[in-house]
Structure 1
Amino acid sequence: MGIYISDVQMAGLFFPFVALLITFPILLWNYNRNGAISKWSMAVTYSLVFYLICAYFLIILPLPSRTVVSHLTTIKYNLHPFVFILEFIKYNPLKITNVHTWVPALKNPTTIQPLFNIFLTIPFGVYLRIYFKRSLKQTILFTFLLSLFFELTQLSGLYGFYSRPYRLFDVDDLMLNTFGGWLGFMSGKMFSGLIPTDLQVRKTILMRRQKVTIFRHITAALLDLALVILAGIVILELQRPLNFRLGNYGSMVWSLGFLVVVLVPELFFHKTPGMRAVNVELVDSQGNQTNKLQIVKRNAFGVGWFFLLTILELSIDNDWVNGGIKNIIAAVMLILLLVVFLSFIIDAMLDLFRPEHDMLFEKLSGTRLKSSL
């Protein structure tokens, strides 16, 4: 039992990172499809990812060394059903008439192992019924397939990492896991009063899709940032044969990437790739189409501090600027950067607590984001 608990603890440590990789694309897809996502859906998605991580770790951990596995002589699979019952009868110390055997019987592997396999997939059955609205037949089928995936993972020696299986492929596990999914489906009705109905979720989405929340702001910005980085890498590779030495000016490379990914799409299409992904667009403070001057102002006030880095790099690198002037330029630029950056951070913090709060650079430029749905 201690092994199982340690595996769950490990899953808890890995969860924030793995959830970021798995859950974010799911939420983004929902945003792109529906224009919004309810807090209920976010919570369920996170909990489902956490459950699957725990379940997966529980069936593969602890990982033995490859040398130890290569010397194993244990059987690789069991295709005879109900062996767990025979083992319980043969090895479990339970005697119904003797109370003192009850606790040792519960702690015995012949009890723990079957119960573990049942409880492993009970949450999966609940998710399938409550969240995915699957029927009993579908729940049994999907639970069986999940269990089969687990067993094949073990049979393959963790997809060929080991020379042979280090855990048993057991048909009893398939049966008990599938039974756990059925049990989860049947017990799912108990939770029906605790969850919002489909109508309530749809109403929430319809209301939220018109609001440009901080999550949509951040998601659009992160997607654009990823594309700016990608564009910067491409620019570096393209200029390499030309020997422009752009690699010496990191901020210049990212500034060029910003022009390609953000400024040009905003000027001509009023939305960046990140904005397009979360269904928002640039408008003026009255909700009408922005003009090009407003867009330039928005970017100058919003990310102009980054272009100051480019000017700073170029100024310091030039030979015609003497040491004293270089120090003055660097000091002034750094002070400006600090003031602008702190203003941006404070404004972003305000945005967390004030829904649909227009940020400072939006107020100064007379622009804001509006849902395009």
Structure 2
Amino acid sequence: MLHSYLFPISYAFMSFPVAALLFTLPFLIFQYRKYGYVNKVRAFVLYLFLLYLMNAFFLVILPLPASRHNAALFSGAMQLLPLNFIHDILKETSVVGSDPSTYLHLLKERAFLQVVFNIVLTVPFGMVLRYYFRTGWIRSILYSFLLSLFFEVTQLTGIYGLYDHAYRVFDVDDLIMNTLGGICGYLAAEWLSGLLPRIEKLDDHVDLTAKRVTYTRRAIAFMIDSVIWPILMAICFLLHIPASFWVATGIYFILIPWFTNGLTPGKWLVRIRLTKMGERITLAALVKRYGLLYWVFFGLNRLLAGSLDNVPDFARLFLGIVVFVMNAWFFIHLVIHVFKKKPTLFYENISKTRHVILWDSTPEQNEETETHSSEKGRLR
């Protein structure tokens, strides 16, 4: 019986890296939007919760039938008699009520262990609901019941039509035991809270103005901008605007941040903005910063990748060498700064610009905070 549990768990652990990778981007964006930064305790709990949910789901649905065209269950697909598990235990047990020495036999019997498993399955769910999500007991009971109902319906429908018939019984006792497990987890969370940091106090002493904007955060902002920015380039191209790449880049990364005080859609989504030495960003600073990065660095790469039919061979060779050297130098420059945790790259030093966390939605309050942070830096 132990093997029947280890098999789904092993699959859950093997699948977890893929699920965690898909989970990471929305997780980071949500954390940046709601809290302004990523807390390690919060991240640990949520990734652990994801791993738990995967294990619970795999334990419920595995093993799968050998074929999609599976046969209907001989005894029927639904068991709707509450507490029927008591009858199953009494029918199968070798325990003798008058002989206490036989009581331990329960720990080896399938019907009893099945009940214990259904309770234990949702204990972590109830614990996380109370500890992390701070849900009350009524909602915790409801969510535990709904989770169990999801499991049972998934089995009853043959994974929502993937299989011709249900391959496991919809059992009302499973609903009862899973819900009971959620309640036990909710009660145990009071003990858990005494061992771990209080979730509601994680941000009490966090100063967002003192936190460095990580390269991960900047990369996510760039990924989001890289989805919207090409749309603007395509519009410029369809309108037959000369040098569409450079025009669209200037509008998106220079003019828009100038009007929005250092914001692009990507930066806004992860709550960061550009400043010049802690003050409001200027048009000249943006031209220096993004002129170097996009018009020169990316621009030369785009020029080399484009059509150069009318350019002499020696000129194309020279441009290729220049771009290769430039790319190699930039790659080394970026790696050195990432691993040495130096926050500013060459185009930031030249333009005297940097990213800060957008801690509040009111621009005036952000400017006041940035100015205050800059003044503290000068006093030091």
Scaled by the length of structure 2, the TM-score of the pair is: 0.81
Alpha-carbon spacing, 1:136–1:313, altered in 2? closer, same or farther (3 Å): closer
Scaled by the length of structure 1, the TM-score of the pair is: 0.83
Task: State the match for 1:276 in structure 2.
Answer: 268
Q: CA RMSD in A?
A: 3.2
Work out the CA distance in 2 between the residues paired with 1:257 and 1:14. 41
Pick the aligned partner of 2:282 from 282, 291, 294. Answer: 291
Contact 1:308 1:337 survives alignment (8 Å): no
Matches within 5 A, 1:40-59: 40-59=41-60
Task: State the match for 1:331 in structure 2.
Answer: 321
Work out the CA distance in 2 between the residues paired with 1:256 and 1:72. 66
Work out the CA distance in 2 between the residues paired with 1:313 and 1:180. 60
Task: State the match for 2:212 in structure 1.
Answer: 213
Task: State the match for 1:228 in structure 2.
Answer: 226
One-letter amino acid of the structure 2 residue matched with residue 272 of structure 1: T
Contact 2:36 2:271 survives alignment (8 Å): yes
SS of equivalent residue, structure 1 residue 185: helix
C-alpha displacement of 1:11: 1.8
Contact 2:256 2:264 survives alignment (8 Å): yes
Work out the CA distance in 1 between the residues paired with 2:91 and 2:217. 58
Work out the CA distance in 2 between the residues paired with 1:235 and 1:61. 48
C-alpha displacement of 1:340: 1.5
Contact 1:23 1:46 survives alignment (8 Å): no
Work out the CA distance in 1 between the residues paired with 2:71 and 2:233. 48
Work out the CA distance in 1 between the residues paired with 2:239 and 2:65. 49
Contact 2:285 2:352 survives alignment (8 Å): yes
Pick the aligned partner of 1:265 from 230, 237, 256. Answer: 256
Q: How many residues align?
A: 355
C-alpha displacement of 1:118: 0.8
Bigger mean CA deviation after superposition, 176-185 or 62-71: 62-71
SS of equivalent residue, structure 1 residue 203: coil
Work out the CA distance in 2 between the residues paired with 1:214 and 1:15. 28
C-alpha displacement of 1:333: 1.7
Structure 2: stretches of 5+ with no match in the other structure: 360-380
Contact 1:70 1:162 survives alignment (8 Å): no
Task: State the match for 2:297 in structure 1.
Answer: 305
SS of equivalent residue, structure 2 residue 16: helix
One-letter amino acid of the structure 2 residue matched with residue 336 of structure 1: M
Work out the CA distance in 2 between the residues paired with 1:73 and 1:257. 66
Pick the aligned partner of 1:371 from 322, 336, 357. Answer: 357
One-letter amino acid of the structure 2 residue matched with residue 296 of structure 1: V
One-letter amino acid of the structure 2 residue matched with residue 29 of structure 1: F
Work out the CA distance in 2 between the residues paired with 1:342 and 1:70. 61
Contact 1:220 1:277 survives alignment (8 Å): no
Structure 1: stretches of 5+ with no match in the other structure: 247-251
Bigger mean CA deviation after superposition, 217-226 or 329-338: 217-226
One-letter amino acid of the structure 2 residue matched with residue 232 of structure 1: P
Task: State the match for 1:249 in structure 2.
Answer: none
Contact 2:233 2:245 survives alignment (8 Å): no
Alpha-carbon spacing, 1:281–1:236, altered in 2? closer, same or farther (3 Å): closer
Work out the CA distance in 2 between the residues paired with 1:224 and 1:21. 18
C-alpha displacement of 1:229: 3.4
Contact 1:347 1:360 survives alignment (8 Å): no
Task: State the match for 2:23 in structure 1.
Answer: 22
C-alpha displacement of 1:88: 1.7
Identity %, equivalent residues:
29
Alpha-carbon spacing, 1:65–1:262, altered in 2? closer, same or farther (3 Å): farther
